[in-house]
Each structure stands twice: as structure tokens, then as C-alpha cells.
Structure 1
Amino acid sequence: MSQLNPGITGTDPASVPVKVVSAPPEDLQHVNDDAAAARNLTAIRIRGQLAELDVEHQQL
């Protein structure tokens, strides 16, 4: 099941209708802020995992 379209399962992506969002940019700013926060958290997690691998490698 698609996370972006939970109601759509196993269909050809080309046949799925596209919904156009029409809203002023300021109304959608929270979406941009959420995406930026998610990217930041992902980067922090990746750096933490790389640091853990570095420590493990140094201990060997």
C-alpha cells in the first residue's frame, strides 16, 4: 500500500489521477517546515549511525 496514497493499492502510477493543490504559499509553509525538520532529523540519525560505525571500527 502506498504511503502517499493509502487508498490506492497495486495500480499503475500512470493511471492514478493527480490532485492539484491550490492554496497560497503561506498556507503551505507548515508543509515545507515539516519537510525541513524531517530532513534535519534524518541527517542527525545518519551522522549518529556513522559515528557508531566509526567507534566500532576503531575498537577492532
Structure 2
Amino acid sequence: MEPTSPSKKVEACDHKPLQECLLRNNNDRSKCMKEWEDFQRACREKAQKKNQECQACKE
């Protein structure tokens, strides 16, 4: 098991469909609203399971 360091970034929510949509649309989030909403929901659920606040949901 890897030791964790205090400076280690908290695991980010990874949502491949959103990443792919943004790549196809030159990072224009307005064209990826469904993927963005799905990403936020998945991130929020993941954060709730870990009892943490979803950083991406604040953006």
C-alpha cells in the first residue's frame, strides 16, 4: 500500500463521457450540459459515500 502524503490531491471525480464531449467541442461546456450534469451527480454521489464535499459540484 502506498503511503499518503498531506500534499497529495484528493482523488478527483473522473467522468470519461464529459471529457470526451469537451474534447469534441473545444472545451465548450454549454454543448455538454447532459454530460456535465451526469458528472456532477456522479461526483456528488461518490463524495457522499466518502462523506466529503464534492469540489467539482461547486464550479
TM-score band by shorter chain is: 0.3 to 0.5
Q: Which has the higher helix share?
A: 1
The structure that has the greater radius of gyration is: 1
